């Protein structure tokens, strides 16, 4: 069965450093997402991407965040200058999108980011 993959599985970085989290969504899916889950908290939506541009974003997704689909398969989340509060599990998801009301999103295994 097709699956969403994410790399790395764990990342440790120093405060103020840039990090790039990578995802390979399911091929032929049209919508791509990033969510995050701070330890013990809810899964929170960050951003969705459709037709090579951001389609929705939350208030969490401020100027320090950016997303890119550099080629036909990868989808990346960049955090320019990490803060301690960016420590979380980051999930990538993809959605087929042709009949999205009746489709589920497929989630990757996550990248655990720790900012020191």
Q: Using the rule CB under 8 A, which residue among 25, 75, 86, 108 binds other proteins?
A: 108
Q: Quick check: bond before 37 cis, omega within 30?
A: no
**Nearer residue to other proteins within complex by CB, 33 or 75:** 33
Residue list 7-66, contact with other proteins (CB under 8 A): 31, 33, 35, 41-45, 48, 55-56, 58
| CB count in 10 Å sphere of residue 79 | 19
Which part of the chain contacts other proteins (CB under 8 A), choosing from 21-29, 62-70, 75-83, 89-97?
A: 89-97
Locate the DSSP E strands across the chain. Answer: 5-7, 10-13, 19-24, 31-37, 43-50, 53-57, 65-68, 75-79, 88-95, 106-107, 111-115
- Give strand pairing partners of 45: 35
Tell whether residue 100 is a contact of other proteins (CB under 8 A).
yes
- Which residues are at the interface with other proteins (CB under 8 A)? 4, 31, 33, 35, 41-45, 48, 55-56, 58, 91, 93, 95, 97, 100-110, 112
């Amino acid at each position: 069965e097709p699956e969403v993959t994410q790399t790395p599985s764990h990342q440790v970085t120093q405060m103020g450093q840039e990090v790039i989290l990578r995802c390979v969504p399911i091929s032929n899916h049209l919508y791509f997402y990033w969510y995050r889950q701070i330890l013990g908290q809810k899964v929170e939506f960050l951003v969705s991407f459709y037709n090579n541009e951001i389609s929705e974003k939350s208030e969490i997704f401020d100027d320090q965040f950016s997303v890119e689909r550099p080629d036909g398969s990868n989808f990346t989340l960049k955090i320019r200058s990490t803060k301690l509060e960016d420590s979380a599990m980051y999930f990538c998801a993809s959605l087929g999108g042709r009949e999205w009301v009746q489709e589920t999103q497929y989630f990757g295994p996550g990248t655990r980011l720790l900012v020191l």
